[in-house]
Structure 1
Amino acid sequence: MVVFTTFAPIFNTLMKKKLKVGFWEFIARIVLKNRIVILGVIVFITLFLALQWKNIQFSFTEANLLPDNHIINKEYNAFLDKFGEEGNLIVVGVKDDAFFTPKAFAAWTKLMSELKAQKAVDLIISISDLKKLQKNESLQTFELVPFVDQSQTVNKAYLDTIKKDLFQNMPFYEGLLFNKKNGTIRSAIYLDKKIVNTAHRKDYIVNDFIPKIEAFEKETGIDLRVSGMPYIRTLNAMSIMNEISLFIGVSLLLTSLIFFFFFRSYRATLIAIIIVIIGVMWTFGLLGLFHYQITVLTALVPTLVIVIGIPNCIFLTNKYQQEYVAHGNKARALQRVITKVGTATLMTNLTTAAGFATFIITNSELLKEFGIISSLSIVALFFLCLIIIPIYYSYQPVPKEKHLRHLSRNYTKVFMAWIEKMVKYNRRHVYLVAIFLFLISSIGAFKIKTSGSLIEDMPKNTGFYQDILFFEQEFDGIMPLEITIDTKRKKGVMKLSTLRKMDELQETIEEIPELSKPISILNLVKYSKQAYYNGNPEYYDLPTSQEQSFILGYAKNATKNTQNNIMKSYVDSTGQVARITTFMRDIGTGNMATIENKLWTKINKIFPSDRYKVVMTGKALVFEKGTKYLLDNLLMSLLFAVFLISLLMVFMFRSFKMVVVSLIPNLLPLMITAGLMGYFGIPLKPSTILVFSIAFGLSVDDTIHFLAQYRQELTRNNWKIKKSVFATIRESGLSMFYTSVVLFSGFSVFMLSDFGGTVALGGLIAITLAFGMLSNLMLLPCLVLTLNKSLTNKQEFIEPKIDVLSKPEKETKDSDK
């Protein structure tokens, strides 16, 4: 209210004057005549948004790329409602002959006991306190009795016997606790499902779990391997958080150094840094204000603000210095920073924001939040730049000669002269090169493959990623794939006919090399038969029709009486729905589809749809389907970006030819990028999918700057096309070069990431922007010259209904400077 009251009289006065001046002259007067008030409002907004930081949280789940109402999401949520969080398993593995020695085994037992005592742990299955089924004939049930006599573990011979007995006589635990072929041992640690998707998971992993693992390794000298979704999520999230600081710091340093190199001015560099820092603060404030979580995508937005903000500062600072050199009047130069480039800067920021905003239409909450935060941050950044830079320079001395030397440096003169020469004398060669690149890139684009792996983009040089590979090698993966079988009747799971069908399906799963040995109630039933025959492993099998009445009776009693066993989560409370869990390797989208088809072929064959309802779900499948969903929607979002930006161009120029001219130089770099992805084997995945819309929105900025300046030059040069084109190159070419270098360098910062997807995102956008710069400096003016040969008057540039472009003035040295 205070702000409104302060602004009201100023606003009313200026609105009366607005009819007599242009739109941007009106804005310039507001900014330059009310500097203190405007700066106060910016400080107020910054403080308000800073107070919202307390609401910022990091995402504790994997990126869900599917809409909430998608059938895959509905099935997965139904599974969670029935069986709880499936990603609550941590595995600790060891492959060392020294494990079965008294010292190491005692340390292992101690480690498992300490972990089991934690409130965050729900259940531990480990050799040290392993239970085996034993028949109790008097009670007609099975009892769980200790597999290891702890009093004998000081004896090496006894431990060797335990090892032999485990590998030969305990098929129930094969694939879960040991690899019989390689001799690898592991423990299964099931966390409390209530903490898996909360901050308590990180606290437990970092403060309790990891220190105990490290203490064991230090005591025994044995290297432990740790994996599982809770562990991977936590360390992966910590890596992302660390990279946020890295990206912000490096991008700010790099872009600031480039800015200083161009302008050789500490004052200019300082205000650019202040502006982007405020922009970053606003971005974090918007995340808190909307209660959005920091995800792998929203974590990139602060760096994007820096990378996009510095070019804005470059363009406005360069225009101020050019204006001052032209007429030597500081006041007029500051006013024209707003009036002459206000529309062009607004449009460039709107097109950049539009490139990000297209993700809002994907129906994916993850991409929606990314699109909303990034587009709002970019628009806010535009106003910060347009307001703060003129106000700042109004309090500063006029530019010194050394600050203006960059306008006539030799390397810039040589580069711009080469551009002019190519456009003037080698237009045909420019077209031939463009056509050649398009054709070659088109061939490469057809070679692009897709990938939908949960772990593919994780940092390869980290210990937890190497542990993932270890468990893939030893136990066929750690990514859960779930199959639920609804028998449509209570206690239908324990029917022998159902168990036989499940057994047939599990045999198919075991035949697929990318999948691990499955776990289900079927394993317990087979183990029950083995226990009934006094633990003979030859009887680890389904009971026959003759055996089922008494063996399944024993098994039902054991399941009923034993609440703390691994099978309690594999049948629902009514006995109607069974769950089969298998784990899969990092196999990618194409292989996942093959495996899925193979499983569904078997499922449809053995489970009639009128008697059973079978659902396949799990983290790995949801992520793969999300990737496919994004791929299917990529073209739609890109076309929407093209359509939206074309509308902005129509509003700006009201010329169909200019829309065509603006699109061709910006679509060519996208095709070149697609070709490079195909030739170098870079797959389409959630990270690289973002490249095209983002790069298009950024690349078209140079086009707008060029065409806006071109239109002004036409009116200044009496509609002479060639003269106007080359005047435009000289006027805007330098700023386009500067901003493109900053964007290229800024996005290259992402290549410092340990995450493959982030590296690909930064590298591909940087390459696209580099080609975009050359395309806009060379192909664009060539197209303007070719398509506008017949232009003799204003017919190709109808005045917009709202005159937002400033009129070119005759430059004179004023006496009132």
Structure 2
Amino acid sequence: MKKKLKVGFWEFIAGIVLKNRITILLIILAITIFLGLQWKNIRFSFTEANLLPDNHIVNTEYNEFLKKFGEEGNLIVVAVKDKTFFTPKAFGAWNKLMADFKNQKEIDLVVSVSDLKKLQKNEQKETFELVPFVDQTRINNTNYLTSVKTDLFKNMPFYEGLLFNKKSKTIRSAIYLDKKIVNTAHRKDFILNYFIPKIEAYEKETGIDLRVSGMPYIRTLNAKSIVDEISLFIGASLFITSLIFFFFFRSHRATLISLVIVIIGVMWTFGFLGLFNYEITVLTAVVPSLVIVIGIPNCIFLTNKYQQEFLAHGNKARALQRVITKVGTATLMTNLTTAAGFATFIITKSELLKEFGIVASVSIMALFFLCLIIIPIYYSYQPIPKAKHLEHLNRNYTRVLMTWIEKMVRQNKTHVYIVALFLFVISLYGAFQIKTSGSLIEDMPQKTGFFKDILFFEKEFDGIMPLEITIDTKRKKGVMKLSTLKKMDELQNTIEEIPELSKPISILNLVKYSKQAYYNGNPAFYALPTAQEQSFILSYAKNATKNTQKNIMKSYVDSTGQTARITTFMRDIDTGNMGKIENKLQAKINKVFPADRYKVTMTGKALVFEKGTKYLLDNLVSSLLFAIFLIALLMAFMFRSFIMVVVAIIPNLLPLIITAGLMGYFGIPLKPSTILVFSIAFGLSVDDTIHFLAQYRQELVKNNWKIKRSVFATLKEAGVSMFYTSVVLFAGFSVFLLSDFGGTVALGGLVAITLVFGMLSNLILLPSLVLTLNKKLANKQEFIEPKIDVLDHGVNDNEDSDK
């Protein structure tokens, strides 16, 4: 009499999948079409990453600044450092270039040597007038241009640091974009299709190399680089992972279906981005490649299980069913832990990381269902595997590797623990050497021309990253009081003493220039008016500001005259130095501006980014601990055993410590990109642990709860798949080393290294720990039945299901 078998959850799922193949494939097609239609909502980020929560005090102050003074990042600078600049050909072409820019509706203001204005006293009207610095009728005269050059460097201190470097004789123009287009797609189109071609045309005409920078320009080319790399990563990931897959399995059919699955997964990922209305940022741009890298290991486990089952009993239908029933839960749990590693970013309160975490975790779980459903359906329509397709299961190099690992675990457990402890100690020491970096440009593509131009401007003009200081006098027209201006002068002198900061710009500069103009342009009088001079000089300056509709000072005092703005630009510096600069400035502010009479705020994009990095670093430990807790909870729910949780966590924490140590020893700083490494790598590394322990529990039942025999049987059964998937993950993340973005390179390289250590830890340290710590499992009664059953109770391994 045939024994009636209990039908479990996964047997039920297997029955649905294999009995409704066409219907399920049509549903997948419909979902793919639906998500494909969401691509129209995909858009690219037009600003830098904001790593802080929206309600953070730093963000609040920055938004208040933008409301009062408008977008700060609307300045593009074009510089030239060439002895032939003040010649009729070069200067004439420059003059025409700046005139063309000025006539564009996208440009609000152009301040250039070619049409420079200088203040001139009009005694009759008791005001200052802006008159042309260059006589346009004489620009074809070489001698005249030489005198212009001399006059500029000698008599125009107001423009020093803004339009020229007196020491190196570098000239630059300040081009202010319309603030309405700065954070829109229109900015990208304007810069790529009009601005850059104009620059290139000038260079071709004159043979002079122009340097271009500024936040709108950097943002545009940085975003373009991100878009260009998406296709590079997807193509490279597909190529390298499929190549390794084919090398392992030597099957075109198996490789083809794996490629189809991950391509559908990539399409779904883009669909999720559109569906959730998320922007493509430097982080979300790597998710499609992550889907490929993580999807191929799923395909490896499922394909490997199908071939192992078929090799064991030669029954195709039974093998297909067991692909789902025997590894369904284990694969689900591995994908859940991987998704959990990404999902931990959701609790950071940073919109950038939250969106990355949501898209990545949702895409990974969607990919799991695609793999689990499509692979059995596909093989159900294919002929049975040929002998050559099964050869890899007993290939020589895998047999040698597994034999060596078995020997290490069987004979050298003590040595394994000593090596692990040694690596832990030296890595922990290295981890304490890690530095932090809040650099806004460090992760930008360093091989590009625009990055080299950033370094040029750092050298010539002390940077292009804006740092803003607002001074609220708490009374209307309080800015133009001489007492306020003197306090601002003290603060600006402190700014000029800091080598990482550029010469500051504020209404104070105009007031000093007013005094110079009052004394007929004598540069010796470029200074604040004295108490005796203030009544008549400041009245001239006020009239000049009132009568001039467009000048470079128009954005440095608000409409009520109550709040002033000081702008300085900073070099690319790390978080520690930024903190020192901030403390020095704050100390001066506290000393000069009494809190009861003034409200002084430091803000600006550079400061916001630095604070964002510090915020992420402060939350790194809590985020990682949450990931460990979440994954431990899943393990406990799966195995119902505290010992199992301990055994699972230890081999996966060691690779993280080793990676942190390597970062410390090799000077790789903690920054937004490298912060991601630990949670991602932990979620991926745990996958091998789950596969091992799930298989181990099956072997315990088969081997009458004999621990040693079960451990080595598990190594033979699951070890090859663990090795294969680790190689694929290592190669897949190594693809990110092709990136021009330093952060992406660091992310890919560090995750790849961590996964290598994770593989070795799970293949050597994990079974050693199981043998040492799992003595209790020798007693069947003490092995608590798991909440989620990873065993196949519906079909006995030793008998045919259809007998």
Give the alignment's TM-score, normalised by structure 2.
0.99
Residue of 697, 700, 704 corresponding to 2:690: 704
Q: Tell me the CA shift for residue 797 of structure 1.
A: 2.8
Which of 371, 394, 407 pairs up with 2:380?
A: 394
Is the partner of 1:574 in helix, strand or coil?
A: coil
Match of 2:497 in 1: 511
C-alpha deviation, 1:385, in angstroms: 0.2
Structure 2 match to 1:15: none
Q: Does 1:69 align with 2:45?
A: no
* Distance apart, 1:790 and its partner CA: 3.8
Q: Which residue of 1 aligns with 2:630?
A: 644
Amino acid at match of 1:725: V
Contact 2:639 2:787 (C-alpha < 8 Å) held by counterparts: no
Q: 669, 687, 691: which is aligned to 2:673? A: 687
Which one-letter code corresponds to 2:700 in the other structure?
Answer: L
Quote how far apart the aligned CAs of 1:804 are.
5.1
Query: In the alignment, is residue 36 of structure 1 matched against residue 15 of structure 2?
Result: no
Aligned CA RMSD, in angstroms, stands at 1.2
Q: Aligned residue for 2:701?
A: 715
Distance 1:116 1:731 in 2: 72
Of the three residues 209, 216, 228, the one matched with 2:214 is 228
**Distance in 1 between residues matched to 2:432 and 2:787, nearest whole Å:** 44
Offset at residue 656 of structure 1 (A): 0.3
Post-superposition shift, 1:788? Answer: 1.6
d(CA) in 2 for partners of 1:54 and 1:26? 38
Describe the SS at the equivalent of 2:521. coil
Which contiguous aligned blocks of 4+ residues in structure 1 show a shift greater than 6 angstroms?
none
Amino acid at match of 2:541: A
Aligned residue number for residue 266 of structure 1: 252
Q: CA deviation at 1:808?
A: 8.3
The amino acid across from 1:233 in the alignment is R
Q: CA deviation at 1:800?
A: 2.8
How big is each residue's C-alpha offset from its partner over 1:465-511, in whole Å with a ceiling of 9 and x where there is no partner?
11111111100000000000000000000000000000000000000
Q: Which residue, out of 449, 457, 468, partners 1:463?
A: 449
Matched, 1:626 2:612: yes
Task: From 179, 186, 203, give the equivalent of 2:172.
Answer: 186
Question: Residue 500 of structure 2: SS of its match in structure 1?
Answer: coil
Structure 1 position 491 matched with structure 2 position 491: no
Check if 1:337 corresponds to 2:328: no
Does 1:141 find its partner at 2:127?
Answer: yes
For 2:499 and 2:665, how far apart are their aligned partners in 1?
Answer: 29
* 3-state SS of paired residue (1:151): helix
- Residue in 2 that maps onto 1:753: 739
SS in 1 for 2:79: strand
In the TM superposition, what is the alpha-carbon distance from 1:796 to its structure 2 partner? Answer: 4.4
- Structure 1: gaps spanning 5 or more residues: 1-17
Partner residue, 2:182? 196
Amino acid paired to 1:223: D
Picking from 552, 562, 584, the partner of 2:548 is: 562
Match of 1:97, SS? coil
1:53 aligned counterpart, secondary structure: helix
Residue 419 (str. 1) matches residue 405 (str. 2): yes
Letter in 2 for 1:584: M
Matches of 1:730 and 1:19 in 2, distance apart? 28
Partner of 1:430: 416
Q: Which residue number in structure 1 is paired with residue 729 of structure 2?
A: 743
Please list the CA deviations of residues 125-180 of structure 1 after superposition, one character each: whole Å capped at 9, or x if unmatched.
00000000011111111110000001111111100100000001000000000000
| Partner AA of 1:467 in structure 2 | D
* Superposition deviation, residue 810 in structure 1: 4.5
- Deviation, structure 1 residue 181: 0.7
Separation (CA, whole Å) in 1 of partners of 2:799 and 2:187:
68
**2: CA distance, partners of 1:119 / 1:390:** 60
Structure 1 residues 626, 815: CA separation in 2 closer, same or farther (over 3 Å shift)? closer
Alpha carbons 2:688, 2:762 under 8 Å: kept: yes
Q: 2:103 aligns with which of 117, 129, 136?
A: 117
Is it true that 1:300 corresponds to 2:286 in the alignment? yes
Partner of residue 155, structure 2:
169
Q: What is the CA–CA distance in structure 1 between the aligned matches of 2:338 and 2:243, rounded to whole Å?
A: 24
Q: 1:795 to 1:690 in 2, by over 3 A?
A: farther
Which of 300, 317, 320 is the aligned partner of 1:314? Answer: 300
Mapped contact 2:465–2:569 kept (Cα < 8 A): yes
Matches within 5 A, 1:340-359: 340-359=326-345
The residue type equivalent to 1:721 in the other structure is I
Provide TM-score, normalisation by structure 1.
Answer: 0.97
Given candidates 775, 778, 781, the residue that maps to 1:789 is 775
Shift of 1:461: 1.1
1:671 CA displacement:
0.2
Q: Within 1, Cα distance between the matches of 2:506 and 2:111?
A: 15
The answer as to 2:93 corresponding to 1:100 is no
Residue 802 of structure 1 and its aligned partner are, at CA, apart by 4.9
Query: Is this contact kept in 2: 1:329–1:813, CA < 8 A?
Result: no
1:23 aligns with 2:20: no
For 1:238, the equivalent position in structure 2 comes to 224
Q: 1:797 and 1:36, CA in 2 relative to 1: closer, same or farther beyond 3 A?
A: same
Identity %: 82
Deviations along 1:768-791, one digit per CA (max 9) or x if unpaired, are: 000000000000000000002243
Retained in 1: the 8 A contact 2:504–2:567?
A: yes
Q: Structure 1 residues 19 and 62, CA, compared in 2 at 3 Å: closer, same or farther?
A: farther
SS state of the match for residue 53, structure 2? coil
State the distance in 2 between where 1:794 and 1:816 align.
Answer: 29
- TM superposition shift of 1:809: 5.1
Does structure 2 conserve the Cα–Cα contact (< 8 Å) formed by 1:527 and 1:541? yes
Q: What one-letter code is carried by the residue in structure 2 that aligns with 1:591?
A: N
1:5 corresponds to: none
What SS does structure 1 have at the residue aligned with 2:317?
helix
Q: Does 1:479 align with 2:465?
A: yes
- Distance, in Å, in 2 between the alignment partners of 1:170 and 1:760 is 46
Matching residue of 2:560: 574
Is 1:405 the counterpart of 2:391? The answer is yes
Q: Which amino acid aligns with 1:543?
A: P
Give the CA deviation at 1:806.
1.9
Tell me, in whole angstroms, the C-alpha distance in 2 between the residues paired with 1:585 and 1:599: 16
Post-superposition shift, 1:249? Answer: 0.2
Please, which runs of 5 or more residues in structure 2 have no aligned partner?
A: none
What's the secondary structure of 2:85's corresponding residue? helix
Match of 1:79, as an amino acid? F
Instruction: Give the structure 2 partner of residue 548 of structure 1.
Output: 534
Letter in 1 for 2:711: V
The answer to whether the aligner puts 1:213 opposite 2:184 as a matched pair is: no
Q: Identify the match of residue 613 of structure 1 among 594, 599, 607.
A: 599
SS of the aligned residue for 1:225 comes to strand
Letter in 1 for 2:443: D
Q: C-alpha distance in 1, partners of 2:559/2:264?
A: 55
Q: C-alpha distance in 1, partners of 2:546/2:384?
A: 86
Q: Contact 1:68 / 1:74 at 8 angstroms: preserved in 2? A: yes
Q: Distance in 2 between matches of 1:679 and 1:814?
A: 57
Per the alignment, do residues 808 and 432 of structure 1 end up closer, same or farther by CA in structure 2, a change over 3 Å counting? farther
Please state how far the C-alpha of 1:589 moved relative to its aligned partner: 0.6
Q: Does 1:362 align with 2:313?
A: no
Aligned amino acid, residue 7 of structure 2: V
SS at match of 2:370: helix
Of the three residues 526, 543, 560, the one matched with 2:512 is: 526
Return the match for 2:136 from 146, 150, 163. 150
Of 90, 93, 97, 2:76 maps to 90
CA 1:224–1:796 in structure 2 vs 1: closer, same or farther (change >3 Å)? farther
Shift of 1:330: 0.3
The secondary structure found in structure 1 opposite 2:554 is helix
1:732 corresponds to 2:718: yes
CA distance in 1, matches of 2:97, 2:593: 44
